[in-house]
Chain A
Amino acid sequence: MSDKSRVSAVTMRRAGKVVDAIGAPLQAVMKPTRNLGFPYRAPTVPRGVEVPKEPAKLGADFDTRWARKAPARAARTVIARGPLQLMVKIIADPEVLGTDRLSDLIELGDDAPPVIFAPNHHSHVDTPIMVTSVPEPWRSKLVVAAAADYFFDTKVKGTAAALALNALPIDREVTGRKSSDLIRDLVEDGWSLVIYPEGGRSPDGWGQEFKGGAAYLSNRTGAPVIPVFIDGSGAIFGKGMKRPKPGSTRVVFGAPLHPIEGESTRRFNARIEAAVAALGDEALTDYWTARKNAAAKTSPKLTGPSYSGWRRQWALSEQRKLGAAGMRRRQKRRWPDLG
């Protein structure tokens, strides 16, 4: 027998002894339970019977509490300041304006009250843009109201949205008591919220009428609403686009709006919509023109012109020429310029 094979046999023998040494007591411990069976062990399934899967808690019931705990927050900070910020810079290159309007609150630092950001919504890129553009002290304690039926329809999507964006599942159509109670509790805990009052992405490039979610939540929680206008994101990854087309965007923050005592949610919502429309006007024209239009109540509507069909699309391409998206990467005209 060679030296090499002798060493191998010795090794094998020693390994066998170790397995015996561990295995024997383990078997001794397992033996009683093996004999006990159900209910100490899982039941056996009879043949021909299909056990229904336990319904996963998806949609508005998706549990996101874990995403607001310290380990998830630390992970999110890394994600938001690293890959997410880089992705937003490459795809949307946002120019952030108007944060000076929030300077009085920013100065308060950690004592700044929680607020509700109410931007217009044209694209899936809007949320990453907001998450990376909202100034501190709110950025690090920000939740995003996300459509429960879209972002939380599978466990993987919901987990990813909750971890990366701190998304919170919200019903689009009605702000249910459960959601609003949750948000109230979060605001009381100092969390700020991004909610899209339009309820979803624009279907045709123009905005949609604001639903009362932001106004209702502000009334309920006392948190001021910060109107925000995001320009250019629709051209980057609007509804119906298969993949993003990198371009530039502009994010304009407005002055905080507080609910006035006795003001109905509907009226407050109209005020928020008007403020976002005025910011949109400011982003596309200039401050003075926008203020004059706002004073005369002639700010261009977010929902676009009332006529339909091709003229609506035509007007949209004209508007995009003025916007941030048009400035860096001109949109192609859909029809020839006839003068």
Chain B
Amino acid sequence: MPRPGFVHEVDRSTPPVLFWRGENFSLEKLPAGRSRVIYPPEPLKALDDIDGAIVHALLNPHGQDPLPAQLFPGMKLTIAFDDVSLPLPKMRTPDIRQRVMEAVLDMAAQAGVDDVHIIAALGLHRRMHEYELRHALGDRIFDAFHPRGMLYQHDAEDHENLAVIGTTDHGETLEINKRAADSDLIVYVNINSVPMDGGWKSITTGLASYKCLSHHHTGETLQNTKSLMGHRKHSALHTSIWRLGMVLRDQGPKVFQIESTLNTDMFPAPFDFINKREWEWTAKDRATYLGTTTALNRMPTRMARKMFHNIEAPHQMTSVQAGDTELVHEITLEHVYRQQLVPVEGQTDILTLGIPYVCPYNPDGIMNPILVMCMGLGYLFNMYRNKPLVREGGVIIMTHPTYREFHPVHHPSYIDFFEQVLPDTTDPVVMGQKWEKQYAEDEWYRHLYRTGNAYHGVHPFYAWYWGAHGQQHAGKVIIVGGDAPTVRRLGFTPASTMDDAFEIATDVVGRAPTITHLHVPALLVADVS
């Protein structure tokens, strides 16, 4: 029976706590008596018969007829799936998407459906490399569909292949992939890693155009998104997306949503010590930690990055449900919270976060400074329900080397964003008004997005907006161990050590602040009362 998550009050006997530092780790001693560490629940047991559970979900959907009853010869079937941004780290093969899709294709073959298109719903993310498609879908599906042009990636800039479905009463236009819009049925294959994902967000962002996304991916909307991982009504982003979802439901093609959840078994041996509570480390774990950090300190960053991105996580499916998007998503959220929710009493003055080597926007790439901000303030800060872990005006301390390094193929517009936009302003609203259009309509970025493996030109803005609420909420953000000029460019304060960071924070939170550390991995959502 996996143990639930818990809040550990740090005392003098508590060992130093593990922090990510990009492609490395450190152990930090937190002050006794006023610090606490939130440990995630242990990974839930995976489903015993995953393929059986998938077939059962397809034959017993929520609020819809079984999938085989919705398939008929001569129909247009479009299968869309979540892109490489999920799950993190990539999972061991076979990926869940492959398993689900093979079950769907089996039923389509039984029904005599010939016209099947498979589309990677990547929104404005980068196109997946062939090896990534093969990893997610398996060689069988790739070899059968890709050479015939029946497996491809969504292009949010291909205006001839986009179709307007309708407009919300707030004037938001829903424009999605034309093939999907013209289909008799869209089957969406989702992986829900965090509560923010899934539901109507899958199609209305994954298959949408820039025009459609620009309604809600703004500085103002994200500043007003007070709970990205919690109740939808507190998220301006999700409220807008759900309005678009209603348009899709009423005026668009029929959608058969398949959502799945994963347990948080994120690192295989020998890195399994990362998932453990420090006082439970065995002699082997301690030796592995020492060996790993010593090796990583001497290793070129490039090699360390390669090593970490090659990790395949042993996480596995804990639930799968299919049918009507809203009904399915509610069940999915229950499963996500069952795995990730940790009750926490009260807010804190200082929130400490270890920033890892990866976030949803740099699989097999570089965690550049903008993504450090996005991961810290956009994702980890937002891992709460009800209210943030840190009080308004409190301090957020992150640990990451924050090197000034960018992946030239994946993140070309991030480089210019860092050199041109950030020196001018770090305010999401101001940069949106002043700079966003120029980046979004840049022909070169558009070309790289459409034909290469680059994120869309506007994507660094979206990554920055993601942290807008955290940026607005925190009184100060400190990065420990980061490149000082780079950290200052982000609008944050650099510190050499954790003790220095606590000292710097006293200006804002006084001499004896309370401290909370969010222990990642694994993923957790703090239910703050």
Q: Are B106 and A287 in contact (CB under 8 A)?
A: no
Shortest distance from the beta carbon of B449 to any chain A beta carbon, whole Å: 29
Query: Beyond A288-B105, A295-B110, is A103–B94 a contact (Cβ under 8 Å)?
Result: yes
Please report the C-alpha to C-alpha distance between residue A100 and residue B114 in the assembled complex, in whole angstroms.
26
Collect the chain B residues with CB atoms within 8 Å of residue A100's CB: 93-94, 98, 138
Which residues from chain A contact B111 at a C-beta distance below 8 Å?
295
Chain B 103-115 near chain A by CB (<8 Å), digits 1 or 0 = 0011001111010
Q: Please classify the interface of chain A as helix (H, G, I), strand (E, B), loop, or mixed, using the class held by over half of its residues.
A: helix
C-beta contact mask, B262-306 vs A, less than 8 Å → 1, else 0? 000000000000000000000000000000000000000000000
* In the complex, per-residue mask of A292-303: 1 if CB is within 8 Å of any chain B CB, else 0: 101110000000
CB <8 Å contact, A287 and B144? yes
CB of A239 closer than 8 Å to a CB of B: no
Q: How far is the CA of A291 from the CA of B145 in the complex (A)?
A: 12
A144 to chain B, nearest CB (A): 27
A291 with B138, Cβ < 8 A, contacts A100-B93, A103-B93 known = no
CB of B28 closer than 8 Å to a CB of A: no
Known contacts being A97-B139, A100-B138, A286-B144, is A291 close to B109, with CB within 8 Å? yes
Tell whether B415 is near chain A: CB-to-CB under 8 Å: no
Within the complex, the shortest CB–CB distance from A64 to chain B, in Å, comes to 36
Do A287 and B140 touch (CB < 8 A)? yes
Partner of A295, one of B98, B109, B139: B109
Residues from 78 to 108 in A contacting B, C-beta threshold 8 Å: 97-98, 100-101, 103-104
Chain A residues contacting B139 (CB-CB under 8 Å) are 97
Interface string of B75-108 (1 = CB under 8 A from A): 0000000000000000011100010000001100
* Size bracket, chain A contacts: 10 to 19
Q: In terms of DSSP, what is the predominant structure of the interface of chain B?
A: helix
The docked-state distance in angstroms from the alpha carbon of A101 to that of B98 is 11
Q: Is the CB of A287 within 8 A of B143?
A: yes
Say if the beta carbon of B141 comes within 8 Å of chain A. Answer: yes
Are A288 and B109 in contact (CB-based, < 8 A)? yes
**Residue B504 lies at the interface, judged by CB distance under 8 Å to chain A:** no
Whether the pair A288, B144 counts as a contact (CB closer than 8 A) is yes
Quote the shortest CB–CB distance from A275 to chain B (angstroms). Answer: 13
A100-B138, A286-B143, A287-B141 known; A292+B93 contact, CB < 8 A:
no
**CB-CB < 8 A to A289: which residues of B?**
144
The answer to whether the Cβ of B7 comes within 8 Å of any Cβ in the partner chain is no
Which single member of B50, B94, B98, B145 contacts A288 (CB below 8 Å)?
B145
Whether B51 and A104, one on each chain, are in contact in the complex, defined by CB atoms closer than 8 angstroms, is: yes
CA distance A98 to B49 in the complex (A): 18
Interface check A273, CB cutoff 8 A: no
A286: chain B residues at CB < 8 Å are 140, 143-144
What is the number of contacts between chain A and chain B, taking CB atoms within 8 Å? 45
The interface on chain B, measured as residues whose beta carbon lies within 8 A of the other chain's beta carbons, has a size of 22
Known contacts A294-B109, A295-B110; is A104 also within 8 Å of B116 by CB?
no
Residue on B with the closest CB to A100?
B94
Mark out the residues of chain B between 107 and 164 whose CB falls within 8 Å of any chain A CB in the assembled complex. Answer: 109-112, 114, 116, 138-141, 143-145
The answer to whether B112 touches A288, judged by C-beta atoms less than 8 angstroms apart, is no
> Quick check: is A282 within 8 A (CB to CB) of the other chain?
yes
Instruction: Write out the residue numbers on chain B whose beta carbons fall within 8 Å of the beta carbon of A98.
Output: 140
| Beta-carbon nearest neighbor of B49 in chain A | A104
Interface 1/0s, chain A 129-153, versus B by CB < 8 A? 0000000000000000000000000
Q: How far is the CB of A75 from chain B (nearest CB, A)?
A: 31
Cα–Cα, bound, A100→B50 (Å):
13
Q: CB distance A295 to B112 under 8 Å?
A: yes
**C-alpha gap A289/B109 in the complex (Å):** 9
Q: Is the CB of A296 within 8 A of B141?
A: no
Asked whether, in the complex, the Cβ of A282 is within 8 Å of the Cβ of B109, the reply is: no
Question: Nearest Cβ distance between residue A163 and chain B, in whole angstroms?
Answer: 35
Complex formed: what's the CA distance from A299 to B3 in Å?
A: 50
CA distance A286 to B49 in the complex (A): 26
Residues of B within 8 A of A103 (CB): 92-94
Q: For B143, what are the chain A residues with a Cβ–Cβ distance below 8 Å?
A: 286-287
Within 8 A of B (CB), among A266-315: 282, 286-289, 291-292, 294-296
Known contacts A103-B93, A295-B109, A295-B110, A282 near B50 by CB under 8 Å: no
Other A-B pairs, 16, CB within 8 Å; known A103-B93, A288-B105, A288-B109? A100-B98, A101-B94, A103-B94, A104-B49, A286-B140, A286-B143, A287-B105, A287-B140, A287-B143, A287-B144, A288-B116, A288-B141, A291-B109, A295-B110, A295-B112, A296-B109
A to B CB contacts below 8 Å, 18 in the list = A97-B140, A100-B98, A103-B92, A103-B94, A104-B51, A286-B140, A286-B143, A287-B105, A288-B105, A288-B109, A288-B116, A288-B141, A291-B106, A292-B109, A292-B112, A295-B111, A295-B112, A296-B112
A residues at B contact (CB < 8 Å):
97-98, 100-101, 103-104, 255, 282, 286-289, 291-292, 294-296
List the 10 closest pairs (A to B, CB-CB), nearest first: A287-B140, A286-B144, A288-B144, A295-B109, A291-B109, A287-B144, A100-B94, A295-B110, A292-B109, A286-B143
